[in-house]
Amino acid sequence: MIILVSGDDRMLAMAARQQSGNHVATYGAVVAITDDPIAQLGPGEDLFVCGWGSAAGPQGNPTIGNKLGPRTYDAVGLWQLLHGTRKIFPAGWTGRTFLWVSGSTDENPDMSFTFAEMFLTQVDAGVSTQGGVYARAERVDPHDVELRDAVIPAPGSPKWTHI
């Protein structure tokens, strides 16, 4: 499943829908974080999270969300939404999480953890049988993005880094 956390990036949404349509077995359905309801993942289905990040939020933690707008989530808030409120993870889930989020691995002296590291701690605490968390290996400036940078790579691509 691909979850679009960025609701204001049409290019990212278009690329996600195209990837899903061309490779549904790999990417599954495309949903927006604001969709209601969001279906539960299959027992081994991978989760792809797409958005922009990772500025420090109100608590100083890195956030992801809209390309230009104010709606953002820190890793704890996103996990609580997906795991607690939306309940998208089935019992015994073994899938992997892929964070196609620009800046998710950025180091910032004012933040103790990157967004990806914080998300990993939430997954490890909440779903013990998960298959790992992977993040986008390079940062992209939201003003310079091209369609090729919006396309979510396949899980085996070198564009992913294991967290």
Residue ranges, the chain, pLDDT below 70: 54-55, 69, 106-111, 125-130, 138-150
Q: Where are the domains of the chain?
A: 2-162
Report pLDDT for 41: 94
> What CATH number does the domain located at 2-162 have?
3.40.50
By DSSP bridging, strand 47-56 and strand 62-65 are: antiparallel
Give dist(CA 10, CA 61) in Å, integer. 26
Q: What are phi and psi of 112, to 5 degrees?
A: -75, -30
For the record, the structure tokens of 160 come out as: 């992913």
Who contacts 31 (Cβ-Cβ below 8 Å, separation ≥6)? 1, 2, 3, 4, 38, 39
Q: What is the pLDDT of residue 20?
A: 94
- Give per-residue pLDDT as tens, 123-133: 776 665 567 88
Q: Which residues, including other chains, have CB under 8 Å from residue 149's CB and lie 6 or more apart?
A: 140
Residue pLDDT, tens place only, 103-144: 777 666 666 778 888 888 887 766 655 678 898 876 655 555
Ramachandran angles phi, psi of 82, nearest 5°: -75, -40
